[in-house]
Structure 1
């Protein structure tokens, strides 16, 4: 592996969990407290927008209370080194927080959307949004009231940037999955796509994922510990 090569990194809840961000599916996670149909579907938004806004307002307001961890920092450092060497690190995340950006990553593909943005269901405009959303808030662009929603991909909706991700995976020299359960599709299918093309695949996870058998190499433990080791090992091998 060389810094001029192309790496696709997929990150999931495990990398944010090391910063204290609650997971969704683990025991005691968010879905144990809320039913996903109420707060993560278009139908839930239509039926009770106040509850849905309250759910995401709490999560948006909580972002400043968590900080990037060494895994976020290490990936940003690797991306910078690859840019300088003429390579490419495509960072795809299932997470809707902004920890990768605050950790120094310049380009992050949020396939499930971003908590820090709002989208108007009337005019389609997407804006940076730090304040609370409610049914009384008007869209700054079209002035329609109550049409702003979190810029989040809900159940039943198509994840973002799927064509771009598929192209990046197909052209990669290495696919790395970090902190994912291997149970959420289409993201869980990326390793299979890479594998079918003969691309080496690596898993860094707290424990084996549901599709762990598809990876050629695996390292288990907290992402905040394992990712810096992986990046350090790669950088060291290149510098020899």
Structure 2
């Protein structure tokens, strides 16, 4: 019954905003940096917390140690899109045919939504595929970074290469913030997946949504769940492929 109701809500909506949380990464078999025991394993191996390792201060003061961690724990772990990512790509294509759209906002740096074929993605924290030379601006792939020794340098001007992610302590791009807020305000459906309503992304932006179709899909409970119009406690990768054919 829940799937049928959700499908009807999706079918009746033309402007769908999606907040994609870290649960989507976990469902692709990738542990989030703050998950236990992974967070403890990182701290035991590197001597500092994942948050510190991924901070602008650590990158600027200890770039060699940063890239040692970044290559091993971020780039090498990669990850593939799960069925929910592909379902969103199908939904985006379907809505485009009828004059609607789907917008996905995420803090994930994996680029999995784009890998699955989703076009309209707002990455608030960037992604690890877009690494850029600090000198000439040339872009480099994760593979180039992985093959480099120590701190990666540009093969054109020899300047250091900057990872394409937002580091802790850096400011979010105001243009991206405005875009998420505007897209959320214009939406006639808000789909929150793989996270809860008190997480940073949803807490900051869901107040812009004024509709009555706020749907939460997550396999964990949270006290704020009651604020959604509909909640499905299952894996997103199980639900969306069934609802979006």
Deviation at 1:136, TM superposition (A): 4.4
The verdict on how the C-alpha distance between 1:181 and 1:36 changes in structure 2, with shifts beyond 3 A counting, is: farther
Please identify, of 7-16 and 32-41, the stretch whose mean Cα deviation from structure 2 is larger: 32-41
Q: Does 1:9 align with 2:48?
A: no
Aligned partner (choices 205, 215, 229) of residue 242 of structure 2: 229
Distance between the aligned counterparts of 2:126 and 2:36, measured in 1? 24
Find runs of 4+ consecutive structure 1 residues off by over 6 angstroms. none
The verdict on how the C-alpha distance between 1:166 and 1:222 changes in structure 2, with shifts beyond 3 A counting, is: same
Deviation at 1:199, TM superposition (A): 4.7
Of Structure 1 and Structure 2, which has the larger fraction of its residues in strand? Answer: 1
Judge conservation of contact 1:56–1:115 (CA < 8 Å) in 2.
no
Aligned partner (choices 51, 54, 69) of residue 55 of structure 1: 69
Structure 2 partner of 1:67: 80
What runs of 5+ residues in structure 2 fail to find an aligned partner?
Answer: 1-8, 44-48
Structure 2 partner of 1:78: 91
The verdict on how the C-alpha distance between 1:70 and 1:170 changes in structure 2, with shifts beyond 3 A counting, is: same
Judge conservation of contact 2:191–2:214 (CA < 8 Å) in 1.
yes
Aligned partner (choices 165, 178, 201) of residue 193 of structure 2: 178
Deviation at 1:53, TM superposition (A): 1.1
Structure 1 partner of 2:216: 203
What is the total number of aligned residue pairs between the two structures?
225
Distance between the aligned counterparts of 1:182 and 1:155, measured in 2? 22
Structure 1 partner of 2:46: none
Of Structure 1 and Structure 2, which has the larger fraction of its residues in helix? Answer: 2
Over the aligned positions, Cα root-mean-square deviation in angstroms equals 2.4
Q: Does 1:129 align with 2:166?
A: no
Please identify, of 165-174 and 213-222, the stretch whose mean Cα deviation from structure 2 is larger: 213-222
Structure 2 partner of 1:193: 208
The verdict on how the C-alpha distance between 1:207 and 1:136 changes in structure 2, with shifts beyond 3 A counting, is: closer
Please identify, of 202-211 and 71-80, the stretch whose mean Cα deviation from structure 2 is larger: 202-211
When normalised by structure 2's length, the TM-score is 0.81
Aligned partner (choices 154, 169, 177) of residue 184 of structure 2: 169
When normalised by structure 1's length, the TM-score is 0.82
